[in-house]
Amino acid sequence: MAKYLVIVESPAKVKTIRKFLGPNYEVAASNGHVRDLPRSQMGIDIENDYEPKYITIRGKGGLLANLRKLVKKADKVYLATDPDREGEAISWHLMTALNLQDKAQENKVSRITFNEITKGAVRESLKNPREIDMDLVDAQQARRILDRMVGYRISPLLWAKVKRGLSAGRVQSVALRMIGDREDEINSFIPQEYWTLDAVLSVRGENKPVTARYYGTSGSSGSIRKQEIGDRETAAAIQADLRGASYKVTEVKKSERTKKPPLPFTTSTMQQEASKVLNYSTQKTMRIAQQLYEGVEVKGSGSVGIITYLRTDSTRVSEEAQAAAKDYITSTFGAEYVAVEENARKGGAKIQDAHEAIRPTDINRTPAMVKESLTRDQFRLYQLIWKRFTASRMSAARYETTSVKISGSGKKQDHIFTVAASHVLFDGFMSAYTDEEEEGINAGMTKGLDEKSVLTFKSFDAQQHFTQPAPHYTEASLVRAMEEQGIGRPSTYAPTITTILARRYVSKEEKNLYMTEMGEVVNDMMKKAFPSIVDPGFTANLESLLDGVAEGTVRWKTVIENFYPDLDEAVKTAEKELAEVKIADEETDEICDKCGRRMVIKYGPHGKFLACPGFPECRNTKPYFEKIGIACPKCGKDIVVKKTKKGRKYYGCMGNPDCDFMVWQKPSPVRCPECGSLMLEKGKKLVCWNPDCGHIMDKPSEGTEEQ
């Protein structure tokens, strides 16, 4: 009787797949990669055409020995690692590690892939075996070698100039720069004042008043000119001109619009939505999705994978899944809820369509049916994926929108106010899935308003506002920005963010990501010494080249040959330029109160601290507070640079906790010429700290100070 061996990556898959196959099949796991570049050296032979030096990963010897025994007993071996570049490379490494070359020549080794771990998908893959795709392998090799070159050539500079244990990375350094650039943008942002003016009007015959928003003025020809209200005086002038005015409806416009259903999840959109809706980190989302993909124990079904492959940037859906969704939606919601045509995203240069979108493996397996079989976290993510996919196969929602223009006859000119509202005519996909945008769709009250309506003025509501800077990155918005700029790929988003958080380059407070002091040091060094490495455009171009390798249009070693010489030159230049730079172990005027030596600045996990240079004889340490030479406006003590518990930098009083002064922007030695208060630096501007003043002025040129 024939014996077949199926090798997968994860032990969790073994149990799920084994039950789909008969007694003639043995299923075993490689536990991920079995060979890799050595950790003790770069592992790339620069002189020999950049040949990688692969070795067996430490601790995998026993596992490989067991796999070799199974290989000898098998008549045929199926390599069933994940259906992506990484999985293709693992299968290729298994060929060497398990000495499968002879079996391959006898057509006894095949590569199989499946996008979902279900009986039908696994059995179908066995009917369509193929050879290993070396283009995908080479794309993975090129990525691995590029990352190794960046990490192993640049990280030692960080160790020498800052502290050991730091790291640079081809993708992580760009992500760090993006966060730093956003913080610079926020810190230099100057708020602009603006006002909104609402007129509250009663409508004869209606119980509820109408609130209309000021839009602009109306000319004698009937033309309408939009007018922004920039300050309190303008708002007051409009109200004064409208004192005693009469109001009338001049236009009621009704129209119908549709809202298309969302696309099914890709890796990026799943991470973004799970962060917004479930408050999951990218790492947590991927960990739970992996569990749902590999297989969970479902009552009545045993171990089964309930979602498709989780690393994808495709929104394609198989014909079988389309048909199943159509049947489910028709029977559950009605035929009118089925999408007339497939909802799909147009392909682009940055979209790989090798996989399907992330979806439930069986749409009939509703969240309610599996709730008792899943943990709370698993259930919440599965429910999100199921609802999103179901909605993506449904028809668009339809709204009736009403826009009303109201004219107020001022003493000098007529003023126009507007009211807008909408209500749902047909909920379509929203019966299965809604988001924050859709939840607030029915704003405003226009029912009963027409040109004959009699309006009576009740009151004005004038509100002051200030423009806001771009928000700090969250994990979700950083993933979105990385995807939009072509930085990284679905498999890299979560590990990239996890790494910069683990290295304490970035801290996470609430959902926001903030650059830490350590992150600033590393980012500044990278931007100065390796501008191309941290350039988003350069990194995105590399990703495109790797896509070309995967497609067979670019030779993988050509990418390496064009990259390494420039990196090597940049590293050598940086070593010379940074030789005189003393970032760590800087001597201070602080005296060690145990041995009398001058203490030095060192870097720890949480940033700078003071340490005695007499270590290990003297182990005295102290917190380090960097004075900026400016007195606290509340108590007169020194203002120093401080950090939150998670590493975010701010400026606070040395007298804390007795004095609670703190600001996020750096205080300036310049005093406000209007009120004499402290001023804060915001890019090229200075802004008064006193909220009752708010004076803004240009920074004085260097060498001049206005005290």
* Catalytic sites, residue numbers: 309
Pairing relation of β-strands 51-52 and 25-29?
unpaired
Report which of 35, 56, 53 is spatially closest to residue 45, judged by C-alpha positions.
53
Q: How far apart are CA 193 and CA 213, in angstroms?
A: 18
The residue type at 147 = D
Cβ distance 93 to 34 under 8 Å?
Answer: yes
Q: How far apart are CA 579 and CA 92, in angstroms?
A: 43
Report which of 70, 71, 92 is spatially closest to residue 82, judged by C-alpha positions.
92
Structural tokens at position 646: 């998670």
Q: How far apart are CA 227 and CA 223, in angstroms?
A: 13
Angle among Cα 331, 333, 334 to the nearest 5 degrees reads: 70
Cβ distance 513 to 647 under 8 Å?
Answer: no
Q: Count how many Cα atoms sit within 13 Å of the Cα of residue 372 in the half-sphere of its side chain.
A: 3
- Helical axes 493-502 vs 475-484, angle rounded to 10°: 130
The residue type at 272 = Q
Direct distance between the N- and C-terminal alpha carbons of the chain, in angstroms, rounded to an integer? 93
Structural tokens at position 271: 């991470």
Strand order of the sheet with strand 25-29?
25-29, 4-8, 76-79, 109-111
Q: How far apart are CA 48 and CA 45, in angstroms?
A: 5
Number of residues assigned to the chain:
707
Q: How far apart are CA 90 and CA 84, in angstroms?
A: 10
Structural tokens at position 324: 């199943």
Instruction: Look at residue 595 and give its three-state secondary structure.
Output: coil
**Burial class (CB within 10 angstroms; exposed 0-12, middle 13-18, buried 19+) of 395:** buried
Report which of 70, 39, 64, 32 is spatially closest to residue 53, judged by C-alpha positions.
39
Tell how far CA 512 is from the center of its chain. 11
253 φ, ψ (degrees, to nearest 5) = -120, 125
Q: How far apart are CA 307 and CA 358, in angstroms?
A: 7
